[in-house]
Amino acid sequence: MTELLVGTKKGLFVLRGDASAGGPFAIAHRAFPGDVVEFAMRDPRTGRYFASVTSGFYGPRLMYTDDPTGEWEQAVGPAFPEGTDTAVERIWVVKPGEADGLLYAGVDPAALFVSTDGGASWSLNEPLWEERKAGDWAPGLGGLALHSICPWPGDPQRLAIGISAAGVWITEDGGKSWRTGYTGLVPEYLPEEAREGTSALCVHNMHRAPLRPERLFMQFHGNVYRSDDAGATWNEIGAGLPSGFGFPMVLDPADPDSAFVIPLVGAEDRVMPEGKVRVFGTRDAGAAWTTLGNGLPGHEAYLTVLRQAFAGEGEGERMGLYFGATNGEVFGSGDGGASWFTVHDRLAKVHSVRVA
C-alpha cells in the first residue's frame, strides 16, 4: 500500500492504493478544504506529517500531525522576527535534516528556517538572511523562493540550497556562513554581457545523490546540470531532452547516476512538448536520456507539472514515481517509469506530490 500526499489548490488529498495493481488510488482524506496546500510531506524518522497551507485571506501556515486523516496542529512559525519588516508569503518546502529533531523549511521571500524540535517551532537562519539583505536577489515568476534543500547524508554541518532566482548557496558549518556555487550555470535569459558574476540565477530544482553526496543534479531555468564537486561547478547534461526547461526532478536514492525530469516547452509556453506526457530518465549521469511514457497520454495532452509535484519511492527497477499536473490528474509508476497508470484524474490543480 502506497500513501500519497497530494497538495492542491483546493486542499490536501491523502491517496492510498497499490501501485502493483495499476491504480487508481482512493481518496482516504481531504484536509484543509478551500485552502492552497503548497507542499506536504511525512518525516520518515518520526512519522510526523507536515503541510504548508496558504489561505487567500489569512496567509501561510505550517501544520503538522501524526495522522493526516485526523486533527492538525499549527507550528510556531516559520515567521520572520519583528523588526525585519518582512512576512512569510509562502512555505515552499520542508526537509528533514541530519540530526534528531532537525528540519529545514524554505520560504518566500527567500529564507531558510530551522527547527530543532521536530517541526513544532521554527527560527530564521540569520546568516543567510544577512546575505539576502546584502545581495541583489530578484524574484522569479513564482516569487523569491527558497525551494530546494539538500542535506549531506550523515553530516548536519553541510547543506546546499537552491533559490529562484538567486542561485545555489552552500554551508559547511551548519549555516553559520554561506558561499555561492555558481560556476558553469548559464543564465541564457540575460544578455551575455550581464551574465558574468550575476546572482540572478534561476534554479528550478536541485537534489543531492545520497550515495555520492558531492554530486548534485539541477533543473535550471534553461537546462539540466550536474555538479560533481558539491555545487562549486556545474556542467550541462540536458542534451537529448526535448527541452531544457522544466521544474520537477527526482533521483533514485540508490543510483547516483540517476535523475528523472519532466520537461516543458519553455518559459513562455509551460506545457509538455509535442502534446505528449513524458518523463525522461538518465542512469548514466546525464550522458543519455530515456523516454518514459508508456501508459501516459501520448497526444493532445498539454499538461503542466509544477516544481514540487513529482516524487519517488524506493529504488531501482521497482522504484515508484508519481507526479500530478495542474489539470488535476495524477500519474504513477511502480517500475521506475517503465510503465504508468492513472492514480487519480479529477483532483484540483496539483501543487505538490510526495510519498508518505
Partner 1 sequence: MAVVTLRAPLRDRTGGTARHDLPGGTVGEVLRELERRHPPVTGWILNEQGRIRPHVLVFVNGERTREDTALGPGDVLQVLPSISGGRT
Interaction site with partner 1 (CB under 8 A): 55-59, 61, 74, 79-82, 84-88
Q: Are the CB atoms for 163 and 137 separated by under 8 Å?
A: yes
- Residue 207 C-beta: closest distance to partner 1, Å: 30
Q: Which amino acid is at 135?
A: G
Q: Which three cell numbers stand for residue 330?
A: 495524477
- Rounded CA-CA distance 241/254 in Å is 23
Closest CB 90 distance from partner 1, rounded Å: 13
C-beta of 161: minimal distance to partner 1 in Å? 22
HSE-up of 135 (CA within 13 Å, CB side)?
25
Instruction: Report in angstroms how near the CB of residue 158 gets to partner 1 at its nearest.
Output: 30
Concatenating the DSSP letter of every residue in 263-303 gives EESBTTB-S-GGG---EEEESSTTS--EEE-TTS--SS---
Backbone angles phi, psi at 165, to 5 degrees: -125, 70
At its nearest, how many Å lie between partner 1 and the CB of residue 173?
A: 27
| 47 CB-near residues (< 8 Å, 6+ apart) | 66
When the beta carbons of 74 and 157 are compared against partner 1, the nearer one is 74
Helix (H) or strand (E) holding 14: strand 11-17
Residue whose C-alpha is closest to residue 290's, from 282, 302, 299:
282
Beta carbon nearer to partner 1, 44 or 81: 81
Cβ proximity to partner 1: between 107 and 277 the closer is 107
DSSP letter at 19?
Answer: G
**Minimum CB distance to partner 1, residue 142 (Å):** 18
What is the rounded CA–CA span in Å between residue 341 and residue 345? 10
Q: Are 41 and 94 in contact (CB under 8 A)?
A: yes
- CB-nearer residue toward partner 1: 283 or 349: 349
C-alpha cell at 117: 524540535
Nearer to partner 1, 46 or 86 (CB): 86
Cell numbers linked to 15: 491517496
Nearer to partner 1, 15 or 111 (CB): 111
Q: Which is nearer to partner 1, 14 or 53 (CB)?
A: 53
Give whichever of 87 and 267 is closer to partner 1, judged by the CB atom: 87
CB of 70 to partner 1, least distance (A): 16
Question: Strand 2-8 vs strand 350-355: parallel, antiparallel, or unpaired?
Answer: antiparallel
Q: Which of 247, 356, 256 is nearest to 303 (CA)?
A: 247
Q: Positive or negative, the Cα torsion across 184, 186, 187, 193?
A: positive
CB of 203 to partner 1, least distance (A): 26
